[in-house]
Chain A
């Protein structure tokens, strides 16, 4: 399996503060994704990247930005965290057969 790690695993932050989540992969995959998972909503795509500095919006991108300055790192930033962004965030990379490998997730609580 491709190595994919997310950091931090847990974070509590205050409303209005910026937050950055990191996704790191070790196998040079081109496509990377950020999802949020909430009860009753399944997985919702926030942003994805198809190469260094190539990113695009997903279905729930408002309030989020991403950056990919090198292949192995895909950063998700909440510009000004709100309580509605309390969620579990997953990063994923796309394999050659179009399936995904997921990180272990980041549990973010905005208070």
Chain B
């Protein structure tokens, strides 16, 4: 079974600084990979996804992520943090269960704080 590890449950950056949120997955086959964002008291919304096309994926709000097969990583970056980026970020990988049904395997999330 696949698994997802998000390194750092809490990340703090200054406004205008680079945002780097780390995600590593375990997979023996090319995966589908996703980043979701959750703002306080809201549901999760899709930031970006990798589905075996270009390895550098651009998402909403200036975020992007690069799929690196050799490192089994899918790190999320943004060149310049904004106060509105403060949120919880989740990495997920698509896997199949014993019944061959696809479902997402989730990381535990990284809470991003942006300091003025």
- Name A's B-contacting residues (CB within 8 A): 31, 33, 40-43, 45, 48, 50, 56, 90, 92, 94, 97-105
Contacts and interface: CB of A to CB of B under 8 A. Distances in A.
Given A42-B90, A56-B99, A98 B104 contact: yes
Interface of B: 32, 34, 42-46, 49, 51, 90, 94, 97, 99, 101-104, 106-109
Contacts of A101: 46
B100 to A, nearest CB: 10
B90 A31 contact: no
Nearest to A98: B94
A90 B109 contact: no
B32 A97 contact: yes
Contacts of B43: 90, 102-105
Contact of A90 (B34, B44, B99): B44
B102 A98 contact: yes
10 contacts: A43-B90, A43-B106, A56-B99, A90-B43, A97-B32, A97-B49, A98-B32, A98-B51, A99-B46, A105-B42
A28 B109 CA distance: 29
Contact of A56 (B51, B94, B101): B101
Contacts of B46: 99-101
A50 B107 contact: no
Contact of A99 (B34, B42, B106, B109): B34
Nearest to A42: B108
Nearest to A104: B43
Nearest to B108: A42
A97 B51 contact: yes
A85 B51 CA distance: 35
B44 A99 contact: no
A38 to B, nearest CB: 11
B6 to A, nearest CB: 9
